Amino acid sequence: MRYTEEIFNILSKGGFISANSVSSAIKRFYDALEEDFTDYYEYYKGIGFYLEGGDGYYMFTRQESKVDLERKLEAVMKWIDYLSFLKTYDATFGPGFKFRPADIEVQISCQIELKEKASKLFSDKKKYNEVVEKLVLELEKSGMIELENEHDNTYKVLTAFHYMEDLVDCITISEEMNDEISQ
């Protein structure tokens, strides 16, 4: 097994290793995980991390206490807001999609719904360029996007984005619960 430390350093911070990464190093890590998944799984399990593979990405999961679960639920709500904003910006926003933050800023000024969602994303940010900058930073830090072209500031959405989409797709609200929410 190669790259155990490098993989751990990425995944232990809540990051992802995606198949369609722009980085050749990340692609090597992904290929190594693909080749020796069982060995890596057992290795990381020994230190309390569970290696899981998704649709073109790898991540760590851990057993959580109730306090941690509540914290994670709050984080999920944040990611739901991010996904809602991004899909409002462009319904095709997903793995392989390329964008420039400046284009998102332009769309915010043109679309009322996007403007409303942007104003709710980060309460500490008032200007739309600050909102987009913080959102891009959050997505990049979590391994959902990577800067593909420094010259024109183009980002590529990675396969790890499937995690966020799948997470939201898993959430089902029963009719009874929906009625309670709307009251």
| Residue 178 predicted with pLDDT over 90 | no
Sheet holding 145-149, edge to edge: 98-99, 154-157, 145-149
Amino acid (1-letter code) at residue 101: P
Q: Where are the domains of the chain?
A: 4-61, 66-175
Over residues 13-31, the pLDDT tens digits come to 888 999 999 999 999 999 9
3-state DSSP of 105-166: HHHHHHCHHHHHHHHHHCCCCCCHHHHHHHHHHHHHHCCCEEEEECCCCEEEECCCHHHHHH
Radius of gyration for the alpha carbons in the chain, expressed in angstroms and rounded: 18
Residue 9's H or E segment, with its range, is helix 4-11
CATH of 66-175, one of 2.40.50, 1.25.40, 1.10.10, 1.10.8: 1.10.10
Predicted confidence at residue 174, as pLDDT, reads 45
Predicted confidence at residue 165, as pLDDT, reads 86
Structure tokens at 100: 């420039």
pTM of the model: 0.75
Under 8 Å between Cβ of 145 and 154: no
| Residue 62 predicted with pLDDT over 50 | yes
Under 8 Å between Cβ of 148 and 155: yes
User: Of the candidates 153, 167, 172, which has an alpha carbon nearest to the alpha carbon of residue 16?
Assistant: 167
Residues 101, 139, 7, 34: is their CA dihedral positive or negative?
negative
Predicted confidence at residue 57, as pLDDT, reads 94
